[in-house]
Amino acid sequence: MQLDRVLVCLSISFLACTAKTDAPASGGATPPSSAAAPSVEGRTFLARAVTEGGKPRAIVEGTALSMSFGERGQFGAHAGCNHLSGHFAIEGGKLVVTKAMTTEMACPGKLEQESWYYGVLQASPTITVDGSTLVLEGGGVRIEYLDRAVATPDLQLVGPTWRVDAVLDASTAMHAAWPKPATLSFAADGTVKVDAGCNGGSARYTAAGNELTLSSLALTELACADPLATDLEAAVARMFSGPQPVTWSITVDRLSLRREGGGLDLVATPAGG
């Protein structure tokens, strides 16, 4: 089984970057004041209509085009495979993305779409925002987005079964064809059921804001024959045995757990899945 190691820009290193607003390359119109700029910080937008040359452009099945605007000029985008991260500014009614970097996963059938989309975003398209709708236009391309909070509200921590999708350390994200998935299920009574991919058990948790405090995890003690299963179980156990509390966030159907030096990315499994 192959273990892919993919460089990512984790939030800790992302925040270490210094946002920079570059002056317009040409002597065009003076950028509007910040008071006149569209309000996009802290919002994520999902594309719902894409045209190129006046005709609809098909999106790869099972993918979506998204953009996220963070505080201090942070910018992120996704097209179904790798993540684009950088900084943004709105200058003269245009979206300007700088300091851009991407992860480097190989995703057959998605890379052409990804290259096209990230090219559009980095070509300084015009940007307009009207309530929950955002529109980018440039180079014959028009993309209409809807605020993700309206289009797809976030799931709750309690209820779904969360399957581990990636294991993160200080600088890498690890995806693998694990023999058996690891899952976490949080209950309203403060318990969390854990299947670590080989052994199973339970623990307790308390939630306060964006922090979770996890108690020691009691697991069964079966021998895990596959090294990948052993690595996965160790990564799950570290979330419970490491420094507490850990931070957490949910974006639509994805749960992020972060501890000092690493964490887990999880995705909600379909009902009955």
Secondary structure (3-state) at 243: coil
For residue 117, being part of any structural domain is answered with yes
99/207 same-domain check: no
Q: Report residue 53 as tokens.
A: 């040359």
The angle subtended at Cα 85 by Cα 6 and Cα 48, nearest 5°, is 105
Number of folded domains that form the chain: 2
Which pLDDT score, from 0 to 100, does residue 218 have? 92
**CB within 8 Å of 148: residues ≥ 6 apart:** 43, 44, 45, 46, 66, 251, 252
What distance in Å separates the CA atoms of residue 56 and residue 144, rounded to the nearest whole number?
Answer: 12
18/46 same-domain check: yes
68/192 same-domain check: no
pLDDT tens digits for 44-57? 999 999 999 999 99
Secondary structure (3-state) at 244: coil
- Please report, for the domain that includes residue 115, its CATH number: 2.40.128.270
What distance in Å separates the CA atoms of residue 263 and residue 109, rounded to the nearest whole number?
Answer: 29
171/41 same-domain check: no
Which pLDDT score, from 0 to 100, does residue 96 have? 97
23/81 same-domain check: yes
Q: How many CB atoms lie within 10 A of CB 76?
A: 17
Name the domain boundary from 151, 184, 199.
151
Which pLDDT score, from 0 to 100, does residue 17 have? 36
The residue ranges of the chain whose pLDDT is under 70 are 1-38, 171, 270-273
Which structural domain, as residue segments, surrounds residue 254?
A: 161-268
What distance in Å separates the CA atoms of residue 215 and residue 205, rounded to the nearest whole number?
Answer: 6
The answer to whether the beta carbons of residues 184 and 198 sit under 8 Å apart is no
36/141 same-domain check: yes
> Which residues, in sequence order, are bridge partners of residue 265?
166, 256
Name the domain boundary from 151, 184, 212.
151
243/178 same-domain check: yes
For residue 77, being part of any structural domain is answered with yes
Note the pTM of the prediction, 2 decimals: 0.55
